[in-house]
Structure 1
Amino acid sequence: MANVCGLRTLKNEPVPLKSVEVQVDVQGHVASVSSTLQYENQESSPVEAVFIFPMESNATIYSFVAHIGDVEIKAQVKEKEQAQEEYDDAVSSGQQAFLLEESDESSDVFRLSVGSLPPGQSASVTLSYVTELAVQADDALRFCLPAVLNPRYTPAGCKSLTAEGSGPQGESVPYTLSLGVHMYSPSTVQSVQSNCPLTPLEFLSQDNTEAKVSLSPGHKFDRDVELLLYYGQPHQPTAILEAGQPSAQAGSLMGDTVAMLSFYPEIPSIPSSQMTSKGEFIFVVDRSCSMDCPMNQHNYKQTRISSARDTLLLLLKSLPVGCYFNIYGFGSSFESYFPESVEYMQANMETAVQKVRSMQADMGGTEILHVLWNIYSKPCLPSHPRQLFVFTDGEVGNTKEVIDLVKRHALSHRCFTFGIGEGVSSALVNGMAEGGSGHPQFITGAERLQPKVMQSLGFAMQPVVEDISVKWNIPADISVTPLSPLPNVLFQNERAILYFQLTGQRSGNISGSVSLHHTLDKKVVENTLTINMKPKEDSSMLIHRLGARKAILALEGEREMVGKKNRKKRAVELSIQSGVSSSYTAFIAVNTENKQPIKGPLLRRNIKPMMFSAPRVPMACFKLCSAPMPGPLFGGSRSVAAAKMACSAPMSAPLFGASRSVPAAKMASSRSVPAAKMACSAPMFGRMGGGGGWRKVKRKCQDAAPMAPAPERDAPETKDPLLELISLQKVDGSWDLQPSLASIFGRREEEVATALPGKPELLPVWATVLAVLWLHVHKMDFKDEWQFVAAKAVAWIKAQSGADLTGFVAAGNSFLGLQVALQNFGLKE
């Protein structure tokens, strides 16, 4: 299929991007990333390239350097409106300029504009950022290099729209890509795992605290690159003090010492049987059409919505007796299974299970605000803390508005989020969880959703660390200022990274200590860390920049109107002073060395490199006809002339705030985008979002250019015996003997009933014992998924009278040919 957009020029030739090189330096749990993109204008006219790319939501961009020939241009951070005007003025007057800016709608989407690149000219830009590495359930540190930016759905009336367009799947990219990782760990580096092929791990020190690894040659950036780093002592608390810049003013953030503290509160796990049975559990499931896409690009059999269905079934069976629950589905509209949350009893559970089985990705776009408003408008239930579980593929355009809504209701609930599939918005998933004092999870590649959801369910029912405070024991002439608010709660195996500005720091080896105080199950706990108060010098100032970004985010997140103007002013000052990005500022670089204006018509290119992210929608999900994709990405942004469309689709609205019109006298007609001819009357899918619009396009295009069916997707799915077994469990934790249960054991119902080692009325006990035994042997690798199911079953078994439980387990082992010990079963300590 011909494709004249995305990574192609007007003549269907490769776009100017020639290579991408990424170097990652990991020091403990902080990663510093440097990405260099090399461009070459092979056309006969000057070109302006506009690149849209995703970024981890907690990334802090601190450096942006451009090279044109032998000339190096270092970008400066300026207030966004000023930077935009300088860029437009430079490009319209024939100068070379670069502009890097954050989306107004989501902190994980950036735009890079490369202006007035002459014919035959090469240029490169180097982007540097620093980010904290999230801790996973198995204590791994997760680094993600986003390589997929999905189209984000924008509700009607909103100003902005995230990138549209898709490159063809499986096509080789016309540029080279490389990624290397250098690790420095406070303890030993044990291993590195990835969803992409890696070279063998190479140790660079005898104590294995330094190592390096890289992506194998020939890797395609057709997925987010995820690395899991395993250290020998992952829970070791650390303190890093970084000295201020000698040239900066004393008392300013960059002039003072900044401390980064990392704590891992020890939170003991309690048995499932002792977990709370209280709570209102509300499950919110994205049913936009994009949820019908595969979980990953290499397995089309399981879609995101089918994984969500399986997970909901598991959740319904794992809930504690005595709680309340409800399920919402949302898209362009929303619906709930029950008008209000209902008690967890057999009839309500069976009603919910039947509805879950028929759940489809058929609700259009991704408008999550309306369903959240509805949930928050309902009063909370006394003595039942509200726990919100949100499942989405993250293709939401109004991310910041959604996060703000969650934050406004932070005191009434906790919000656990699950980002499903490639290209999910880390800003949305992390932001909702952080704003709702919950925990985020990401499911990519071939990962299963169920174990991560069960971990979060455990968090929801386990005690959490609360009333968090920090106390310093340091010389009195040193004052301490926190750079961001302390977290409200912490969960098991969760780390707290805190930043502080230390004013009045003296030289010399001065010792001090800092303590993290918190309450756990109404008991006060203290974790103390001894530190050397002499700060280390680091010209990169990474700790300062991370602390500055935290302070800026705190200022941006304040919703009170009182003092809003002063908060914005302070955020801009911190951004410019520290040289890090913010929603109020942008990086601007102009080549003032070039005294000769660039002449000729300036062509506009919306280029989406896969590394920095072409939106990559699986073709089995997104079946377009042979029409080329739309031209300009930003509608009216900077008065780019509209492409002539054969279809009647409206152009998208600007992504990065208000239109920045360049005077017509300066622009003339040199920046117009050539007409993009559409082969069908389909509306632009981006206008309708990461969900609903896709099916509308598909239906209108199929008559003109039918697509071959995807047999992998159409083939019937094989039933999972684990889910089949769990689906038969009753609310109280027991199983009734029936043919479908017996068939999972590989027996007939009559055989199972005949082997009963007791009275006929104990048949449910017998069936339940056999079910738990089967789980322990045949599905032990999935224990994280069925642990709550089994805990309920064992609790129910123990409550039954008239049964010799030891004898039942022995008879069950004999009947099924197993050897499960009583203590493993849960009947004996």
Structure 2
Amino acid sequence: SEALQLLLRSLPENCLFNVVSFGSHFDSLFEKSQPYSEGSFSKALKHAQEMTANYGGTEIYNPLKWAFENSRNDMPTSVFFLTDGQVYNVDQIVELIKSCEEKKKDDLRFFSIGIGDSVSHNLIDSVARAGKGYSQFVTNTERMDKKILGMLKNAIKPPIKDYNITWTDQIIEDSLPIETNTSNKPTISFFSDNTTPPSPIKNIFTDIKIQQAPYLIPPIYPGARFIVYCFLEKGVEACKEITLSAISHDGPMKLSIPLDPVVLQGSKIHTLAARKVIQDLEDGTSFIHKHSKNVGKSIPNSFIREQIVKLGVMYNLASKYTSFLAIDERDNKFVTEAKSLPAQRIVPLPPLNAHPTSVPIYARSARRNQVKIQGLGVNNIVNSVACSALISAPRCASFQFSDESSLEDSDFSYCSGDYQFSDSFAPVLPTTSVKSKPPYIETLYNFLDFQSFNGSFLPSTNFYSWFGKNDFKDFEVIGIENENVLCLALAMAYLEIIMFETFKDECEMCYEKAKKVLKKEVDGDEQKINEILEKVKEWVKKWADE
């Protein structure tokens, strides 16, 4: 639930959002997507904190269909989809996303995260491709906060689209379509029981000189790797510099990429390219489906299957229609099957002065952490946005050492100094203040509890006590008269100095929200903002070193 809480805190003010939990059944936090406000934020935050694993198995189609039907059509929608499960109807789900994407005319983006070792990679990758987003995976011991926030940053930015790559300087004329050969058609018996007349095979254009995969380049996002391949027919030479052009929110973009001819040699790159072509064919986005000469033509599934099999056999690739059987041609001696036992290993206890890693030190059910899904709709940073949220339904945990409520106040600190031992030989750790603790992610979550939905940090006794002070008067040495401005500047300085080194990706968007509020407080005076922050950062550095 921590990742969902952080996502909710990082949402822009001008968006609409919803949260859908699903499993063998599903429910939504709101009947319709709600504007991001103090009330809706508080309700969603409480929902995330109380989330439990009680939704059973994984059923995705119906909650997705509901989310699409209840999303706003007058503004873009982004969906964040998180799951640790597998489904049997991936193709049906992909078709649902495609149909919604076509209706919204590029105003839908679908981001997916697969959690754990048993999640379906085919599901996670396929839905992201269909929704023109991207996919990522996290292990059971890995935190997902950073990856979710990276997706949110990309979701609130206007996408760069209409990509085009110039592969060659030569003028290429497309060849003529394949002609229908009626002489090779099988003879139909007059007494056949099949009353359905065979559908005529239309001319399908396939002879292309430059075959790019993927044929249609989807939006490309910062931090997400994307590879485009190209087959050039013999006699067609590639440019010395490949030109990539696209359209951004601010206008046309262009990039020239020098081509290393050494990269063009060898069979591995051809195999990777062929696999991408097969993926295009399976997804229905290949040049055969999307080329202007094939518009309006019905492409038979048998024809697509033939192309996939041809590529699979040529490049030894497994696909929906190709597989490989390994045959051992040694003598046929019977080999008894040995009983295999799981390997045992001894895990040594860490030394007392060992420093903890970024992985949480406490134990909890892996299944419980694999169940969140959230989604939102976004337009751009300035305009209003609509959102649908999808939260993956958690499955019941098989065991749990402790629940979240018992861990809220549990901070673990390892020091290199001397330890005192009780009669039970348990080390007693020296008590330390917040400022001297290493920046754990739990500390960040606790501090962000002071932030309101709009990014402000309001004055309070608890906020001042975080810094070891009682009230506003204790900060007179800084020289800031406006209490709201002081609290905002203190929070921003704390995040930048204490948290950015380890958790910048996780708290950067919360920092930017606070900066916008501070800018309003000083009427947009950038020079005054810099002066205030310099004073406060100097105080925070001294406070941290005490």
- Check whether TM > 0.5: yes
2:460 maps to 1:738: yes
Which residue of structure 1 aligns with residue 311 of structure 2? 574
Deviation track 1:116-145 (CA, whole Å, cap 9, x = no partner) reads: xxxxxxxxxxxxxxxxxxxxxxxxxxxxxx
Answer yes or no: is the 8 Å Cα contact 2:115–2:140 preserved in 1: no
1:724 corresponds to which of 408, 422, 446: 446
Distance in 2 (alpha carbons) for counterparts of 1:505 and 1:534? 18
Counterparts in 2 of 1:359 and 1:414: CA distance versus 1, 3 Å: same
TM-score, normalised with respect to structure 2: 0.66
Deviation track 1:701-745 (CA, whole Å, cap 9, x = no partner) reads: xxxxxx9x7469895343723212212212222121122222322
1:783 corresponds to which of 501, 504, 520: 504
Which residue of structure 2 aligns with residue 489 of structure 1? 219
2:21 corresponds to which of 312, 329, 336: 329
Which residue of structure 2 aligns with residue 461 of structure 1? 156
Counterparts in 2 of 1:389 and 1:379: CA distance versus 1, 3 Å: closer
Deviation track 1:558-616 (CA, whole Å, cap 9, x = no partner) reads: 2998512211222122212222111212112345675x7x789x989999999xxxxxx
Which residue of structure 2 aligns with residue 385 of structure 1? 76
Answer yes or no: is the 8 Å Cα contact 1:756–1:763 preserved in 2: no
Q: Which amino acid aligns with 1:790?
A: Y
2:514 corresponds to which of 777, 793, 796: 793
SS in 1 for 2:51: coil
Which residue of structure 2 aligns with residue 587 of structure 1? 324
Structure number having the greater helix percentage: 2
Question: Where do 1:159-558 residues align within 5 Å?
Answer: 309-382=1-74, 384-410=75-101, 411-444=106-139, 446-475=141-170, 479-505=209-235, 512-531=240-259, 538=266, 541-558=267-284
Structure number having the greater strand percentage: 1
Distance in 2 (alpha carbons) for counterparts of 1:537 and 1:431? 30
SS in 2 for 1:546: helix
Q: Give, in angstroms, the shift of residue 817 of structure 1.
A: 5.3
Deviation track 1:472-502 (CA, whole Å, cap 9, x = no partner) reads: 3344589322243232211124444222222
Deviation track 1:368-408 (CA, whole Å, cap 9, x = no partner) reads: 222111111124242x3211111222444544443443333
Which residue of structure 1 aligns with residue 415 of structure 2? none
Counterparts in 2 of 1:510 and 1:721: CA distance versus 1, 3 Å: closer
List alignment gaps of at least 5 residues for structure 1: 1-308, 611-618, 624-689, 699-706, 821-829
Answer yes or no: is the 8 Å Cα contact 1:769–1:809 preserved in 2: yes
TM-score, normalised with respect to structure 1: 0.45
Q: Give, in angstroms, the shift of residue 413 of structure 1.
A: 1.0
Counterparts in 2 of 1:568 and 1:814: CA distance versus 1, 3 Å: closer
Answer yes or no: is the 8 Å Cα contact 1:552–1:571 preserved in 2: yes
Deviation track 1:403-445 (CA, whole Å, cap 9, x = no partner) reads: 4433333334111222233444332332222221112222236
Q: Which moved more, 1:738-747 or 1:475-484?
A: 475-484
Q: Which amino acid aligns with 1:481?
A: Q
Distance in 1 (alpha carbons) for counterparts of 2:283 and 2:90? 13
Answer yes or no: is the 8 Å Cα contact 2:167–2:238 preserved in 1: no
Counterparts in 2 of 1:799 and 1:513: CA distance versus 1, 3 Å: closer
RMSD between aligned alpha carbons? 4.0
Question: Where do 1:673-712 residues align within 5 Å?
Answer: 692=395, 710=401
Answer yes or no: is the 8 Å Cα contact 2:161–2:218 preserved in 1: yes
Distance in 2 (alpha carbons) for counterparts of 1:515 and 1:477? 16
Deviation track 1:332-359 (CA, whole Å, cap 9, x = no partner) reads: 1111111111111111111111111111
SS in 1 for 2:521: coil
Answer yes or no: is the 8 Å Cα contact 1:394–1:429 preserved in 2: no
Deviation track 1:295-354 (CA, whole Å, cap 9, x = no partner) reads: xxxxxxxxxxxxxx2122222221222111111111211111111111111111111111
Counterparts in 2 of 1:512 and 1:797: CA distance versus 1, 3 Å: closer
Deviation track 1:532-561 (CA, whole Å, cap 9, x = no partner) reads: 7799653xx222221221121222222998
Distance in 2 (alpha carbons) for counterparts of 1:752 and 1:492? 43
Q: Give, in angstroms, the shift of residue 814 of structure 1.
A: 6.3
Distance in 1 (alpha carbons) for counterparts of 2:132 and 2:366? 36
Question: Where do 1:538-687 residues align within 5 Å?
Answer: 538=266, 541-558=267-284, 562-591=299-328, 621=365
SS in 2 for 1:587: coil
Distance in 1 (alpha carbons) for counterparts of 2:531 and 2:263? 66
Answer yes or no: is the 8 Å Cα contact 2:81–2:112 preserved in 1: yes
Counterparts in 2 of 1:751 and 1:403: CA distance versus 1, 3 Å: farther
2:485 corresponds to which of 759, 765, 768: 765
Greater RCO, 1 or 2 (C-alpha within 8 Å, sep 6+)? 2
Q: Which amino acid aligns with 2:307?
A: R
SS in 2 for 1:786: helix
Across the two proteins, how many residue pairs are aligned to each other? 417
SS in 1 for 2:78: strand
Answer yes or no: is the 8 Å Cα contact 1:466–1:519 preserved in 2: yes
Answer yes or no: is the 8 Å Cα contact 1:777–1:818 preserved in 2: no
Distance in 1 (alpha carbons) for counterparts of 2:535 and 2:510? 22
SS in 1 for 2:43: helix
Answer yes or no: is the 8 Å Cα contact 2:364–2:402 preserved in 1: no
List alignment gaps of at least 5 residues for structure 2: 174-208, 290-297, 345-362, 368-392, 412-441
| Percent of aligned positions that are identical | 24
Answer yes or no: is the 8 Å Cα contact 1:394–1:428 preserved in 2: no
After TM superposition, the runs of 4+ consecutive aligned structure 1 residues lying more than 6 A away are 532-535, 602-610, 711-714, 753-756
Q: Give, in angstroms, the shift of residue 806 of structure 1.
A: 6.3
